[in-house]
Amino acid sequence: MLDNFRAESVRDVAKEVKGLYPNVIIEASGVSKVFFLSHTCKSGVQQGIDDANMQFFMTEDVDIISRGSLTQGIISQKNFFV
């Protein structure tokens, strides 16, 4: 798992790892509260992989992309089983 990597680092590391271990499954999870810079995004604080930046993590060497935004922000029900 390439956890808390910037998109450009994910691409570079995934390519290197797949070159050494072609059968390994690589999962990318994105960055958390660090500065992000790409050719189409302005620099700023990035909060993980979302619809706006997922394309930058997609590469033939990454098999799975995790999006914390699917589960973050869910409001728990304190008295769910009452």
At 10-56, the pLDDT tens digits run 999 999 999 999 999 999 987 654 444 444 444 455 557 888 888 99
Residue 78 scores a pLDDT above 80: no
Q: What is the DSSP letter of 70?
A: G
The structure tokens listed for 43 are: 């620099």
Give the pLDDT score at 60.
95
Domains detected in the chain: 2-67 (3.20.20.70)
- Kindly state the average pLDDT of the residues 52-65: 91
Beta carbons within 10 angstroms of residue 22's beta carbon: 8
Cα–Cα distance measured from residue 76 to residue 64, given in angstroms and rounded to the nearest whole number: 27
Report whether pLDDT(73) > 90: no
CB contact at 8 A, 48 and 60? no
